[in-house]
Every structure is written in structure tokens, then in C-alpha cells.
Amino acid sequence: MFRIVKTGCIDMAHRIRGHEGKCRFIHGHTWKVEVSVSCVNNSLNALGMVIDFGVLKKEFFQWLDDKFDHSFVLGQGDEEDLTSFSSHDAFTRLASALGVDKLNVVFLPFDVTAERFAQYLFKECVVRLNKARAAGARPLTVDYIRVYESLHPNESYAEYSPNPVR
């Protein structure tokens, strides 16, 4: 089997609602995201590739960067808790007080743990690569997404795959 692996990094803040330790507070990480893609039946493309790394960068990693880099991600329950605060007016006032033109706040329908974020990114990657495939192009498989939440001094990661990879 032929497989490629590409990584990218984003800086993102989050909190884990209901956590009893420090993770309940707003904190940030440099998140490294690793994607593994393989071709079905060893069917490399005409250039001898699983997929051009540039296509993976354009279709998935650019979206990841645009949506999440330097953002504050809130999860399930946070949106309801912030209903009175989350009006555009309140965020605009806060951004102005901080001296920035906007706040990059992203709401996701789950509490943002490395595990759930990996699963969410896996599904998005599959959808984005399938849309990018030309009609009749050979199928690709997203093997796994690995999300590194902490890089230094020790790496910690969560991995999502619908099937055992190894």
C-alpha cells in the first residue's frame, strides 16, 4: 500500500467545559495536525503519486488554517451560556477594547478535546478531498487524522480513524 502523510500547524485556544483541572480555563496550544492518505489497490496517479501534496494543502490544510488558526474555539454548551454575550455588538466591543478589528471565535457542536477535534477534522478532510476529486478519478482513503495538542517538551496526540490503521 502507498500512503502519504502531511502535517500542518495552527495556534488555537479552547477550554474543556466540565473539566475539573486547569483545562476548564481558556488556554491555547500550537496544534499539529497530521493527515494520512492512501490510494486504493496501489493505484498511483499518472505521475506516480497517491495525491499531490499541494492538492492536500489546498483542499484541507488551507481550510484548516483559514478557519482555526489564531481562533478561540468554543464547544457544546458554551454558545448557550454566552447567548447574552455572543451578540455581534458584545464581540465588537470586546475586540475594540482589545485593539483588534475582530475576534476569531468558532463554535463547534462538541467540547473541543483532541480526540473529538481529530474526529471532526477527519470527516472534513474526507468531504473536502472527495469534492476535489475529478469525476472518474481513482478513489483515495483518508487513513487517519492525528492531532498533537502539545508539542514541547513532550508530544501528546489523539488519533481518529474509522478503522484500525496498524
Mean pLDDT of the chain: 88
Q: Does residue 14 have a pLDDT over 70? A: yes
pTM of the entire predicted model: 0.88
Q: Which CATH number fits domain 3-160: 3.30.565.10, 3.30.70.580, 3.30.479.10, 3.90.580.10?
A: 3.30.479.10
The grid coordinates of residue 36 equal: 494520512
Mean pLDDT is highest, among 6-10, 47-51, 154-158, for 6-10
pLDDT at 165: 56
| pLDDT tens digit sequence for 103-146 | 888 989 999 999 999 999 999 999 999 888 765 677 899 999 99
Residue ranges covered by each domain of the chain: 3-160
Given CA atoms 18, 22, 23, 27 in this order, what sign does their dihedral have? positive
Question: How confident is the model over 66-95, as pLDDT tens digits?
Answer: 999 999 998 877 766 666 555 556 777 778
Q: Dihedrals φ, ψ of 20, to 5°?
A: -85, -15
Strands lying side by side in the sheet with 156-160: 105-107, 71-74, 3-14, 27-39, 140-150, 156-160
